[in-house]
Each structure stands twice: as C-alpha cells, then as structure tokens.
Amino acid sequence: MSHEVRAGAATRPWSCEMSGFTVVPRWTLDPVPGIGEHEVRIPDELTAASHRLANDSALPLSSVLLTAHAKVLGALAGEHEVCTGYAVDPHPPLPMRMTLRPRSWREVLRGIARAESDLLAHSDVPVDDRGGAPAPAEPLFETVFDPSAGSGELAEGTVLRVGFVQRDGFVLRLRYRTEVLDATCAARIAGYHVTALSLMTADPEAEHARASLLSAEELHCQLHGLAGPLRMLPDRRTHQLFEERARAHPDAVAAVHGNRQLTYRTLNARANQLARALLKRGLARESVVGVVTERNLDWMTAVLAIFKAGGAYLPFEPHFPAERIARMLSRAGCRLVLTERGSSAVLDRAL
C-alpha cells in the first residue's frame, strides 16, 4: 500500500453544471457480467394520483416521474445533488443534475421540472459544445432516466436504466448490469421508485427529506434482522480486541481472501508497521485517513493500522469517480490516503 498527501484541484465552472457523478451501489454477491430486467406495474390509483399532481402543478408527468427517480438516486448515494442521464430520442442520453435539498416535494418537483425544461430546450446542443469546454474523458452518469422507455439499451458506462411504459396501465421497467446489481436488489430499487411516487402524491407539501423509501419489511430487517442478538460488549476498541486475539492465537488464520490468507501474527505485524508509518507522516489523533482499495487483505491491514494509530477511517471504492473522491476528501479534511497498486490512477486524478 502507498501513502498520498491530499492536494487541492480547481474545478472549472462548466464542470459544476455538467458533472456530479452519482454512483449506483454495487449490490450483488455474484457479479456475473450480463443484463437483467425487472418490471413492476404501477397501481392504477397511483398512476391517477401522479397525473393529478402533474396537472395541479401545471407540469408534465415526466417531471413527476423524474423527481421520484432523483429521490431514489439521492437515497442510494446519500447525496443532496445527483446526476442522471436523460434519454432524448434520437440523441444519446444527456447529463442532468438535480438538487434534493430539504424542501417540500412540490418545491423539489418544480426545481427538477425547470432543469428538465432547460435540458430539453438545449437537447440539440452537443455536450462538448456547452460552456465552450472539451467533453469530459470520464462518463458523466451511471443511470439513465427514460420517460418513454424507448430502446432500453444499456450504453457503455451505464449500469441502470429506468423507464416507464404504457402497457395496460403504467409499468416501471428497470434494465441493469448483473455485475453491479442482482435481481433482488433491482426489485428493491424498483420498489423505492414506487414508494417515492406514493409519498410525493400523497402529500406534495410534506418535506421529502423526512420520508423513508424503505418498506416496513426492509426497515425491520435492517434494524433487527441484521443486528443479531443483544449481548454485552467488552469496554475495548476493535483493534484492542484484535490484539488480544493475536496474542492468544498468533498462528491461527485471521483472514482469507481468494487464495491468500494471513495469520493473526502476520496481520498484526503488518498493521503495526503501517500504523507507525502513518504516525511518522504526521497523523494526529482522530484525524481522517482515506482508504482507496478493493475489499481485500490490504484493506483489512489499512483499517487496523488506522485504528492503531488513533485515526478515523474513510472508505472509498476504487470505482468511485475522481470528482466524488476529491469532494469527500475535502469535506473530511483528509490529508493522508492509503491505496494499493491498481487503484492509484483514479486517486491521482482526484488530488
């Protein structure tokens, strides 16, 4: 693993308008390349309520559907600003940035409708002509919103396409890459869209940020099913418990990843070495250290080392776009970053 010192980078004004990459969570334990599809019928009463909200607000129905999509993206990414592709036939999808600050559903809807109207008014202008700047080298979005559910094809770089089809009522169609999402998680995301529509149409004046997209079953699972039985925990930190285990069973296998494994003795020694390196580079108590690695044995070593050195751990997935990594590093005041071979290229662009 290597150590990097954070450096700032200027952002051009046009990038602020055109970027804001929103990452879809990697929700699969079996990442097999392929394309999956999931459809769910929108209840007739919800379809009618969506039309009423659009009519009452003097806005197109597509804006209501797009607002629900934005709410789902914000929940998935944990961000107040999200970016999606917007399908505009016959052109390729265009990047669209949307704001989800704590406001009422209706206020968010109006803001997104203005952004949608502006995008459609300029849909014939190539992306690389907007603002007079060259087109970005990286993809601008991972998701595509398709109000008419046209071709439904997943272009390179797109992992999720959300469309609405008129077929014996209203049908929500998701097409997704199976190396990113599995069928169960795609169904959950479809359910989030339906829930967002239900919440928005039920009370447009309610503050959207207070609304959860989780079903009662999923909420119960997260609060209770994943927690395990209640038990008393020792008054010691994670790395201290690990060190106790290392002293008691130094030659036992501590961790396995693929065909690699580390004993408690080896993992503890590697973490101690890295912790000393962090302290030598000026890590202060409770300062934040970024970790840009895959979830492997190097990642485990890094986390233990940060805890041993008294720091706080800030995880980054190597597939995160450079702009998002830079933004997170800046917000956290992070001056030290741990990475590994093969994951440093995106970090170099972020610093």
Residues of the chain by 3-state class (helix, strand, coil), percent to 5:
45, 20, 35
pTM: 0.70
Distances in whole angstroms, Cα of residue 193 to Cα of each of 60, 62, 212, 215, 308:
18, 13, 12, 12, 42
Give the dihedral sign, CA 214/220/223/226: negative
Write down the pLDDT at residue 340.
81
Domains in the chain: ranges and CATH: 9-222 (3.30.559.30), 238-350 (3.40.50.980)
- Report the alpha-carbon distance of residue 15 to residue 228 in Å, rounded: 45
The total of other beta-carbon atoms located within 10 Å of residue 313's CB is 16
Structure tokens at 247: 């002293």
Q: For the chain, first and last CA: distance in Å?
A: 17
| Spatial separation of the C-alpha atoms in residues 323 and 351, rounded to whole Å | 9
CA distances from 223 to 75, 121, 176, 230 (A): 17, 45, 28, 12
The pLDDT score that the predictor gives to residue 246 is 96
- pLDDT at residue number 323: 79
Q: What pLDDT is stored for residue 195 in this prediction?
A: 96
Question: What pLDDT was estimated at residue 88?
Answer: 87
Return the H-helix or E-strand segment holding 178.
none
How far apart CA 77 and CA 205 sit, in angstroms, is: 24
- Token pair of 22 as six digits: 């929103």
Using an 8 Å Cβ cutoff, are 274 and 2 in contact? no
pLDDT tens series, the chain, 351 aa? 443 333 333 323 323 344 456 888 888 888 899 999 999 999 999 999 999 999 999 999 999 999 999 999 999 988 889 999 999 887 888 999 999 988 999 999 999 999 999 999 877 655 554 444 445 556 688 999 998 866 667 888 899 999 998 888 889 999 999 999 999 999 999 999 999 999 999 999 999 999 899 988 888 888 888 777 778 888 889 999 999 999 999 999 999 998 999 999 999 999 999 999 999 999 999 999 999 888 899 999 999 999 999 999 999 887 777 777 888 888 889 899 998 876 666 677 777
pLDDT of residue 138: 61
Q: Are 319 and 24 in contact (CB under 8 A)?
A: no
Q: Structure tokens of 222?
A: 């997260």
